Amino acid sequence: MDLLRLLSSDPTRWASAVSVLDDSLKCQLGTWLVSEWIEGRLEPRLLSEPMDGKLRTALRRELAATVTALGVDEVHVEWGGVQVDDATAARWCWIMPWILCEQDEDLFLMADHLVTPLLDEVRADCPKRSYAVGIVAHHVRDQAHAALGRGPDDARSKLRELARFIAPARAAGAEELAAYLERLERYAHPQKVTEADAGARVMDLWRCHAPPHVALERRGDEWRACLDAHAGTERWIVVNAKTGALHIESPARNRAKAKGRHKAP
């Protein structure tokens, strides 16, 4: 049976049309719609000009409303190790029941090439708007934090690179994300840093979520905040007070490297 024939050819009438269906048919139709959507087969069937952004967004909005009206709960798609492409990420934004995996779903969507596609759908007010913005923010923070571990030069380079996402974030109305990206871009420029400035940088560059309060220590020309105080994994975020340069220092790792260099052949 072609389930699409059960609906009007006009997607704007879908949500009202499904109200007359019995529960069994609603379930069957809802599952089929979501499946077709996940596989990317629905839009080509309904859009003669798939590149028309306004028509595509209108269809996605009607699809989301119809799936809600059909009462579809969750559809788990175990994505495995396959990389999510731009088109898949964009479709994912519109179907609330579509879950890529039960745990750590966001990890499949945390990639530089997916930031703009996700923000484009946020701009269109997709149902997963808040979730998508959160995923992008988490990805940006993780990327910035990871760069600190590669040294001040890599950190500055990455913070400048992430600035390309400011405009898409602003266009999407994700003001907090745009402001965060603007702060990161400022940190890439050499400048003198006060204790308050250093504290702001540490909070913005903490991995995942910063604690409510971070204690700073001043050692020479550096402001330092301890990320992990355990002897084997000790790590510090270090901010140069004269230049604003940022990096992560690991005394335990440095000692291990020094020991390896001085080990007799």
pLDDT in tens, 151-166: 999 999 999 999 999 9
Say if CB 135 and CB 109 are below 8 A apart.
Answer: yes
Domain ranges of the chain: 1-73, 104-187, 190-265
CA 150 to CA 132: how far, in whole Å? 28
**pLDDT number for residue 197:** 96
Nearest CA to 45 among 3, 13, 16? 3
Section 186-194 average pLDDT: 96
Q: What is the pLDDT of residue 21?
A: 85
Looking at domain 190-265, its CATH architecture is Roll (3.10)
Please check whether residue 142 is in contact with residue 110, taking contact to mean a CB–CB distance below 8 angstroms.
yes
DSSP state of 263: S
- Among 27, 32, 33, 26, residue whose Cα is nearest residue 11: 33
Q: Which helix (H) or strand (E) holds 144?
A: helix 129-148
Q: Look at the pTM and tell me if it is higher than 0.85.
A: yes
Query: First vs last Cα of the chain: how many Å apart?
Result: 75
Please check the confidence at residue 176 and state whether its pLDDT lies above 90: yes
Summarised one tens digit per residue, pLDDT across range 4-34 is 777 777 788 888 888 888 888 888 888 888 8
Each residue's pLDDT tens digit, 99-138: 998 888 999 999 999 999 999 999 999 999 999 999 999 9
Q: Average the pLDDT over 197-218 and give the result.
A: 91
**Mean pLDDT across the chain:** 88
Report yes or no: 43 and 36 within 8 Å, Cβ to Cβ. Answer: no
Predicted pLDDT of residue 104? 87
Give ∠ CA 228-230-231 in degrees, rounded to 5.
Answer: 125
Report the pLDDT value the prediction gives residue 92, as an integer from 0 to 100.
95
Tally of CB atoms within 10 A around 235:
20
Q: Which residues pair with 137 in a beta bridge?
A: none
Quick check: helix, strand or coil at residue 237? strand
Kind and range of the H or E run holding 219: strand 216-219
Q: How do residues 70-88 score in pLDDT, each as one tens digit? A: 888 888 887 877 789 999 9
**Residue 23 burial by CB count (10 A; 0-12/13-18/19+): exposed, middle or buried?**
exposed
> Phi and psi (nearest 5°) for 235?
-145, 145
pLDDT of residue 256: 45
- Looking at residue 50, what is its pLDDT? 61
Residues 166, 42: Cα–Cα separation, whole Å: 32
How far is 154 from 45, CA to CA, in rounded Å? Answer: 46
Strands of the sheet containing 222-228, edge to edge, are: 216-219, 222-228, 235-240, 246-249
Confidence check: pLDDT of 1 > 60: no
